[in-house]
Amino acid sequence: MAEPTVYELSSSGRIGVRFPEPDVPLATLPAGLERESLPLPELSELDVVRHFTHLSQLNYSIDGGFYPLGSCTMKYNPKINEDTARLPGFAFTHPLQPAETVQGNLALMYELQEYLKEISGFAAVSLQPAAGAHGEFTGVMIIKAYHEAMGRTNRTKMLIPDSAHGTNPATSAMRGFEVVGVPSDSRGNVDLEALKALCDDAVAGLMLTNPNTLGLFEEHVVEVLDLIHGCGGLVYGDGANLNALLGIARPGDIGFDVMHFNLHKTFSTPHGGGGPGSGPVGVATHLVDFLPGPNAVIVEEGTDEEAPLFDLAMPAQSIGRVKSFHGHFGMLVRAFTYISMYGADGMRKIAEHAVLNANYLLAKLRHAYHVPHDRICMHEFVMEGVFEDAPGVHALDIAKRLMDYKFHPPTNYFPLIVHEALMIEPTETENKQTLDAFADALIKIAAEAHTQPELLHGAPHITPIGRLDEVKAAKDLVLCCWYPDQN
Output 160 or 386, the one with its CB closest to another protein: 160
Output 131 or 451, the one with its CB closest to another protein: 131
Instruction: Read off the amino acid at residue 468.
Output: L
324 binds another protein (CB under 8 A): yes
Given a contact cutoff of 8 angstroms between Cβ atoms, the answer to whether 265 and 72 are in contact is yes
Q: Shortest distance, CB of residue 388 to another protein, whole angstroms?
A: 26
450 binds another protein (CB under 8 A): no
320 binds another protein (CB under 8 A): yes
**What is the C-alpha separation between 426 and 438, in angstroms, rounded?**
10
**What is the C-alpha separation between 132 and 143, in angstroms, rounded?**
16
Stretch (H or E) spanning 125: strand 124-126
Which region, judged by CB under 8 A, interacts with another protein, from 57-65, 199-207, 229-237, 296-304?
Answer: 57-65
Which region, judged by CB under 8 A, interacts with another protein, from 13-21, 197-205, 281-289, 384-392?
Answer: 13-21
289 binds another protein (CB under 8 A): no
Q: Which of residues 238-257 bind another protein (CB under 8 A)?
A: 247-250, 253-254
Q: How many residues bind another protein (CB under 8 A)?
A: 200
Using the rule CB under 8 A, which residue among 70, 125, 126, 136 binds another protein?
136
Given a contact cutoff of 8 angstroms between Cβ atoms, the answer to whether 414 and 70 are in contact is yes
147 binds another protein (CB under 8 A): no
Using the rule CB under 8 A, which residue among 156, 169, 229, 298 binds another protein?
169
Q: Which of 312, 251, 315 has the alpha carbon at shortest distance from 282?
A: 251
144 binds another protein (CB under 8 A): yes
**What is the C-alpha separation between 167 and 416, in angstroms, rounded?**
13
Using the rule CB under 8 A, which residue among 194, 288, 311, 330 binds another protein?
330
185 binds another protein (CB under 8 A): no
Output 210 or 233, the one with its CB closest to another protein: 210
224 binds another protein (CB under 8 A): no
Q: Shortest distance, CB of residue 306 to another protein, whole angstroms?
A: 12
101 binds another protein (CB under 8 A): yes
Residues constituting the chain: 487
Edge to edge, the sheet with strand 258-260 lists 124-126, 281-283, 258-260, 234-238, 203-209, 157-161, 178-182
Q: Shortest distance, CB of residue 195 to another protein, whole angstroms?
A: 18
Output 100 or 201, the one with its CB closest to another protein: 100
Output 4 or 392, the one with its CB closest to another protein: 4
308 binds another protein (CB under 8 A): no
272 binds another protein (CB under 8 A): yes
Q: Which of 104, 399, 472, 122 has the alpha carbon at shortest distance from 281?
A: 122
323 binds another protein (CB under 8 A): yes
151 binds another protein (CB under 8 A): no
Using the rule CB under 8 A, which residue among 66, 146, 261, 329 binds another protein?
329
Helix or strand or coil: residue 306?
coil
Output 52 or 450, the one with its CB closest to another protein: 52
Burial class (CB in 10 A: 0-12, 13-18, 19+), 93: middle
Given a contact cutoff of 8 angstroms between Cβ atoms, the answer to whether 426 and 407 are in contact is no
Q: Where are the beta strands (DSSP E) in 134-238?
A: 157-161, 178-182, 203-209, 234-238
34 binds another protein (CB under 8 A): yes
Helix or strand or coil: residue 250?
coil
Please report, for residues 69, 167, 303, the alpha-carbon distance to residue 265 in angstroms, rounded to integers and kept in the order given. 11, 16, 36
Which region, judged by CB under 8 A, interacts with another protein, from 149-157, 360-368, 382-390, 443-451?
Answer: 360-368
Q: Which of 174, 100, 102 has the alpha carbon at shortest distance from 143?
A: 174
98 binds another protein (CB under 8 A): yes
Using the rule CB under 8 A, which residue among 112, 124, 339, 398 binds another protein?
339
**What is the C-alpha separation between 404 and 424, in angstroms, rounded?**
18
Which residues neighbour 460 within 8 Å (Cβ) at sequence distance 6 or greater? 400, 401, 403, 404, 466, 467
Which residues neighbour 377 within 8 Å (Cβ) at sequence distance 6 or greater? 211, 214, 215, 216, 355, 358, 359, 362
Q: Shortest distance, CB of residue 462 to another protein, whole angstroms?
A: 9
448 binds another protein (CB under 8 A): no
Which region, judged by CB under 8 A, interacts with another protein, from 280-288, 336-344, 418-426, 449-457?
Answer: 336-344
Which region, judged by CB under 8 A, interacts with another protein, from 65-73, 149-157, 191-199, 443-451?
Answer: 65-73
CB atoms within 10 A of CB 439: 18
Which region, judged by CB under 8 A, interacts with another protein, from 14-22, 298-306, 383-391, 445-453?
Answer: 14-22
Q: Which of residues 468-487 bind another protein (CB under 8 A)?
A: 468-470, 472-474, 476-482, 484
